[in-house]
Structure formats: structure tokens, C-alpha cells
Chains A and B, each alone.
Chain A
Amino acid sequence: MRIHIRYAIFSAFTLLLMSCGGKEEKKKEGFSVEREKTTTEKTAEPVPAANAVPASERVALDDKGVGPIKSLTLDAEIDQALATQGKEVYDQMCLACHRPDKKFIGPAPMGILERRTPEWVMNMILNPEVMVKEDPLAKELLTEFNGAPMANQGLTEEQARAVLEYFRTL
């Protein structure tokens, strides 16, 4: 019973907000309707505290992801030669969807190691099909980025490692 009441209140609230949005719509162009609606729904729904930060910005330095890379320690020094190799691979295999410094089809790799473990990054490159199903963060990222799946570009472990080194230089 209590649930019903709660639902009724919620619906009423939503309706109210929607009608507000509808009113606003008349002033603006038709395109803005959707955007307004999304915003109102977001504020209307009670969001768990942890999800307030989008997956792409969340820091998860204990999550190693799911895939072949179990443990990886990075040297303090960046290996420039390896990073150069990594850039070559990145430009051919990744650039179409990931611009280094801005959100594009997928997230930008700049500063990625402040938020992700090296293992997680490499597993995302090497094992994307499984990651988006089994790693909670990757799963959320898929939703955040419009359901555009991360393509498996068939990189070898060596190539993925080189790309990771390149990310350190960004």
C-alpha cells in the first residue's frame, strides 16, 4: 500500500515536471524537449550517491578489470621509445573513436591512469566484449557512451602495453 502511495506521489511529481517542460517547450525550438525531459527525470529520480559521478570520471584504482592482465607494475620513468610505438598503434587502431584529449565516440585517454589501473586499461583494450558484460564500471561506461561498443581491434599484448605507455605521455 505504501508503495502505491509513493508511486502515486512520484507520478504526480513527474507529470508536474513534464508539464512544466512542455510549457517551456513552446518558447524554445522543438529540439529542446528531449533535453529538458532528460534533465528533469534525472533530478526526479533518486540517484545512488556513488553514481552521481559518471563512470568516466569516477576513480577506481583498485579495479583490475576482467581479462588476461592480472598484474602490471609501471616503471617510474616513461619509456619514450615504447610510447612512440604506442602512438603509432593508437593512431591506426583507436583514433577513430578516441580523441586523445576530448570525449568523442568513447572517452579520452588523457589522464586515464589517474582514474584506472594499468591492468584495467589493458584488459579494456584486449578483452572489451567480456569487460562490458562483467566489469561493472565498463558496463556503465557502455551506457554513458550511448551504447557504442568498444571494438576489439585485435591488438597483441605488446601493442596494448605500448598504447598504455603512450597514454602516460598525454
Chain B
Amino acid sequence: MKKFSYITMAFVALATAFSGCKDQGGKSNGALSSNAAERVYVEPGKYDEFYAFLSGGFSGQLAVYGIPSGRLLKVVPVFSQDPEKAYGYNEETKPLLNTTHGFIPWDDTHHPDMSQTNGVLDGRWIFMNGNNTPRVARVDLTTFETAEIMEIPNSACNHSSAFVTENTEYVIAGTRFAVPIPQKDIAISERKGNFKASLSFISIDKDNGGMDLAFQIRVPGFDYDLVHPGRGKSHGWVFFTTYNTEEAHTLLEVNASQNDKDFIAAINWKKAEEYIKEGKFKTEATQYAHNVYDEETHMATSTIKKEVRVLDSSELPGLVYYLPTPKSPHGCDVDPTGEYIVGNGKLSADLTVHSFSKMIDAIENKKFDGEAYGNPILNFEDVLGGTVIQPGLGPLHTEFDDKGNAYTTFFISSEVVKWKVGTWEILDRKPTYYSPGHLSVPGGNSRKPWGKYVLAMNKITKDRYLPTGPELTQSAQLYDITGEKMELLSDFPTIGEPHYASMVPADIIQPKSKKIYKLSENKHPHAATTDAAVKVERDGNEVRVYMTMIRSHLNPDNIEGIKVGDKVYFHLTNLEQDFDVPHGFAVIGAENSELLVMPGQTETLVWYPKKVGVWPFYCTDFCSALHQEMQGYIRVSPANSNTELNWSLGE
């Protein structure tokens, strides 16, 4: 017994000694002494703790990474065509990229934001904005596919978008450029006072995520830069940063930096809902595309909608208030309690934080300091909650942890600064490499952050990785924020330019991830869900091939009777019902891409045969030991030939 306790004591002493070393190491920045490597290492076959959804910037896509490893899990095509997945190339997904400007195969994605229930990330959908041709997309997180895209009318550069309210009542979409509404042919120099902005509220169906443009609020023609909905006590409001309150139309670099203060626009959307109920809106004629992908037909449809309900803030009191905020604020971030609204004035030396309760008090007591086109301007001192004094240069964005701390990126001084909400004291600062834009804490813009990591997404990469010619990827840096001081753990390259990221614990999404599409639920009009349905049909010069794919053959694999000048639709149905058995399909000279068909799914490739001969088609995704055998021939005869339509497998 005595012997045992000696051993125990010795063990405890030893363990203490070891953990002592560990603590010491934790305070240093060196990866080796701080076991940073261990903390981002995920063993082969093991899973990451968090999903991170990073916008793909000018790639137009959404990148999914595992955190802490930084491993790229998937690139979800959203606004740009992707030949790897046939997105925007196959007949089923083309309608998703339809707009009133026609088929637009590219966009610039900025802010992915996840749906919430009671202010907590719920892992159902990611909403993301397309900046250039204003659009908002919904990505379904059971399939990790784009399920819906809505064009935003009366908008130009959809930057202050696509953030969700705390019960996913609305997705908010502002506009960076003010424009003539309705559009007309006028002199650009007439911008001031004549151009207007629209703030769009897209309501979200609680069950299926379906988007509907509920209403727009017409506001003065400033540049509405970023937005965050209120939460907790400020639920029912949204806050937009503005710049160019000068309403300049040229050389904005100088002309939009004249005013000492721009505004944060506080919008009362509950009040807006009341006005809508009371019928105080105008229905305006406009046009915008609404594109929806149906998981049962495996097809998207595009509808052009023709009108929008508009609330004019200059005529309807109580909708919009302006909070003066120093020097062209960029990020607009609300703390988890909903009390504090951080205006990151990018040309200001200090960080301005407004108080929601002070704002309500000022509104109730009508303490106004003027008006802008009929909208009250509040007094700066009356709404100021606090100031973080000289934290760094060029503040852009702020996120929060679950311990009352805030983390702000500084573009010019290239760092992340940690400060205390309420006391405004600066607690820590760590360099980034280089010039961060947004940063992200899991749940860091909701009521419930998981304060384990902060991910800084940097604009400039320079010497961080092996050079790859003049063009480099952007870098993202991961910090551990569980201790008093932040610790840089790792950095990794990203696709496109990641602007914002939404991070969430993996167990919120992982169990709901879909494995296959059920063949029995496949309602594609040209599906062949059984081999009995395999056929080739001709209607004039249009030929439809109803083809099935299963390890390891395509049925039919011999097709004859196709002629030069035909338009051939290959409708491919993958008959597999097992996880991770997609099949690909490629045919020589196809002008679009391959197909990549998931188990139970149907996809269509259009092919124009141009040359007489016998031509190959094959499976592109290595599916089995006999994948190389998964191939076939299509015979193309001259336009005037009488070759009979014929198809077969194994004959």
C-alpha cells in the first residue's frame, strides 16, 4: 500500500513537471516549443473539429476547409461555372446562372453566412453574395450544393450582403453603389441627390430555406458597405456601415474621404414589417431572376419576377436612423449580447463602438442632430458606447469570443488585436502575414461563439509560401484564442480571395450530410432509373440518349445512327446506391465539360457531332477496378445517310 502511494506521488510529480513545461511553452510563439504543430495535426483518418466555409472571392465559389488542419474538403461551385462538376455546363444547372443580363457564368463572392436558430448557428444553409451582378445564393448543407440563387434588383455591387437575422427570418442585401432607380440614361455628374440605394430583405422559408424578396427599403444614395443584423436585445434591427456620404461620383479615393464622419445606418426591420402589413409600400415594376434547384428532379428552373415592394425611408418615419461614425467605416459588427455595434473606421486611428441602448434612448428622446434626405441623424456623443484608443492602423472587421473579448483586424498595420468589450482595453496583438481583411471565430457573429480559434484571411501573401510566379494564392492564418494571449498555430493557402468565413463545430453538420440520392425519388423527366428504361430517341435532328451508369459499364455502350448536324442530349443516370460511387461521362469534342453524376442522380450533357466516324465516350471518375473498361462508341454518319438508330450493350 505504502509502495503504491509512493509510485503515485512520483507519477503526479512527474506529470506536474511535464505540464509545467507545456504551460511555459504555450506562452512562446515558436511552433516547436509551443506544440502548435500538434494542435493543428489531425491524424490520417481522423476528422477536423470544425467546418470552415470561406468565400472564394473572385473565383465565385465557396471553399470548405477542415479546422484546425486547414485541409481543403470541397470547393462548392456557386456563381461560377465549374467543369469539374459540370456546374453551369450541364443542362440541369445552367438555369441557376441565369439573370436579367443573360447567362452570367462568373461572380465575385464575399460573405458566406450560416443560418441561425435562436441566434445559434444551425448548420442548415450557407447564404453568400455575388457582388458584381447582384445575387444571393443559398447552399444546402446536406448536399453541399447550390440550391437557389436570387438576383437583387435596384442594386449595384451587392457587397453589404448576405447576412442572416438570428432566426433566419431574413437575409440582408445592401448595395455598394447608388444608382438611378429605375435605371435611366443620365449624366454621371448628376449623381448627387439623384442616385438612390436599396436595402433588400429576403425572407427565408423556415422548412425548406426558399428565398423570397419580401421588400426593399429605399434610402439615400450613399455607399452601403457592410451589414450585420442585431441580436439578442437588438434583434429586429440591422446596421449598415456607409461611406461616400459625400455622394462623390469620381476620384472617390479623395472625394469620398472628405467628411469627418460617415454613418452607420440603423434600420428597424420590425417597423418595416408593420408598414408592409399596413400596406404602406409601393409596388414597383422591375425585373430579377429567381433560380431554384429541385433535388427530386435534379434540375434548376429560372423565373423572371416582375415587381418588388418598396418602403421609402424619407416618407416613412422610424425606419432609418443615421449614427455618425468616424472616417469611412468598413466592417459593421455586433457583439453577442446585441448591445454594441462596432464601426471599424478604416481611416480612423480609434475604433468606435456604438451602444444600442443609448441609441434607443436618443431615438425615444428625439435627440437629433439634423437629417439626411428626411432620415434623422443622431448625435455622435449620444450613441457612443466606447472607444478603443489607437489599437492599430486601418481597422476592418471585428469578431467575438464567448468570454467578452473582441478581435479586430488591422489592414495597414497587419495584425489582429484582442480587446475587452466594455472596458475597451487592449489585451493582446499578434502580427498577420499580411494585411488581413475579415477574420472569423466559430459562431463569432452570432449569440453563441465557440471561442477556440480565430482565422485571419489575408489580402497579401508575398513570401509566405514557395513562389508560383507572379500570381499567389491568398493566405489564411489560424490562431488559438483559448489563452490570455493569442497564439499563431498555422497558415494555409486558399482558393480565390477569401473575404469572410463562417465556421461551425463539425457535429452540427456532419450527421446530416447526404450520402446518395435515392433512385426511387428521382423525378428527372429524362431519367433512366432502370435498365429497362434505356433508349435512344430521335425527334428531327434532336437525339436523346437515356443512358445508365453502374460499375463498370455504360448502357448503351454502342450507339449508331447519329448524324452530323444532330444535337445529342446524353441523359446519364447513375444507378449506384452506395456512398462515394460517382461516375463521370466524357465524349470527344464536347464543347462544355464532363458530367460528374452522383449515385441516384441524373445529369445531361449536350453534344454536337461534327465529324463522321466512330467516336469514343468513357467514364472519367476512377470508379472501380474495371473503370478503364467503362467506355463505349458512338457512330456518326453523314447528315444525309440512312444509318438506322440503334443502341446496345453486350451484343
Contacts and interface: CB of A to CB of B under 8 A. Distances in A.
A153 B576 contact: yes
A115 B110 CA distance: 62
Given A95-B530, A152-B578, A155-B577, 7 more contacts: A93-B575, A96-B548, A105-B553, A149-B551, A151-B581, A154-B577, A154-B578
A147 interface: yes
A39 interface: no
B551 A148 contact: yes
B625 interface: yes
Interface string B515-527: 0100110000000
B552 interface: yes
Given A96-B548, A96-B575, A153-B578, A147 B555 contact: no
20 contacts: A95-B531, A96-B550, A96-B555, A105-B552, A105-B553, A147-B625, A148-B552, A148-B625, A148-B626, A149-B551, A149-B624, A149-B625, A151-B550, A151-B576, A151-B578, A152-B577, A152-B578, A153-B577, A154-B516, A154-B578
Contacts, number: 52
B519 A92 contact: yes
Interface in A87-134: 91-93, 95-97, 104-105
Contacts of A95: 530-532
A96 B531 contact: yes
B529 interface: yes
A91 B530 contact: yes
B514 to A, nearest CB: 13
A146 interface: yes
Contacts of B576: 151, 153
B102 interface: no
A154 B575 CA distance: 11
Chain A to chain B: the 4 pairs with minimum beta-carbon distance, closest first: A154-B577, A153-B577, A96-B550, A152-B578
B640 to A, nearest CB: 35
B551 A151 contact: yes
Contact of A148 (B520, B548, B577, B624): B624
Question: Chain B CB within 10 Å — which of A92, A97, A149 has the most?
Answer: A92
B650 interface: yes
Which applies to chain B's interface (DSSP): helix, strand, loop or mixed? loop
Nearest to B549: A96
Nearest to B576: A151
Interface residues of A, number: 17
Contacts of A151: 550-551, 576-578, 581
B306 to A, nearest CB: 42
Interface string B625-644: 11000000000000000000
Interface in B502-550: 516, 519-520, 529-532, 548, 550
A112 to B, nearest CB: 19
Contacts of B532: 91, 95
Contacts of B577: 93, 151-155
A93 B532 CA distance: 11
A66 B276 CA distance: 64
A154 to B, nearest CB: 4
A155 B578 CA distance: 10
Interface in B216-253: none
Interface residues of B, number: 22
A148 B626 CA distance: 7
A1 to B, nearest CB: 40
B296 to A, nearest CB: 16
A149 B577 CA distance: 14
Contacts of B548: 96
A91 B528 CA distance: 11
A97 B550 contact: yes
Contacts of A92: 519-520, 529-530, 575
Nearest to B626: A148
Interface in B582-628: 624-626
Contacts of A104: 650
Interface string A123-166: 00000000000000000000000111101111100000000000
A127 B578 CA distance: 12
Question: Chain A CB within 10 Å — which of B516, B532, B550, B555 has the most?
Answer: B550
B581 A146 contact: no
Nearest to B522: A92
Nearest to A154: B577
A152 B515 CA distance: 13
Interface string B555-588: 1000000000000000000011110010000000
Nearest to A155: B577
A154 B519 CA distance: 11
A107 to B, nearest CB: 15
Contacts of B519: 92-93
Contacts of A148: 551-552, 624-626
B602 to A, nearest CB: 14
Contacts of B555: 96
A146 B551 CA distance: 12
A152 to B, nearest CB: 4
A154 B599 CA distance: 11
Contacts of A146: 626
A148 B630 CA distance: 11
Nearest to A128: B578
B572 to A, nearest CB: 13
Nearest to B551: A151
Nearest to B629: A146
B66 to A, nearest CB: 26
B123 to A, nearest CB: 24
B523 to A, nearest CB: 14
B506 to A, nearest CB: 24
Interface string B36-54: 0000000000000000000
A92 B528 CA distance: 9
A133 to B, nearest CB: 14
Contacts of B578: 151-154
Contacts of B553: 96, 105
A139 to B, nearest CB: 14
Nearest to A97: B550
A155 B577 CA distance: 9
A152 B516 CA distance: 12
Contacts of A93: 519, 575, 577
Question: Chain B CB within 10 Å — which of A104, A147, A153 has the most?
Answer: A153
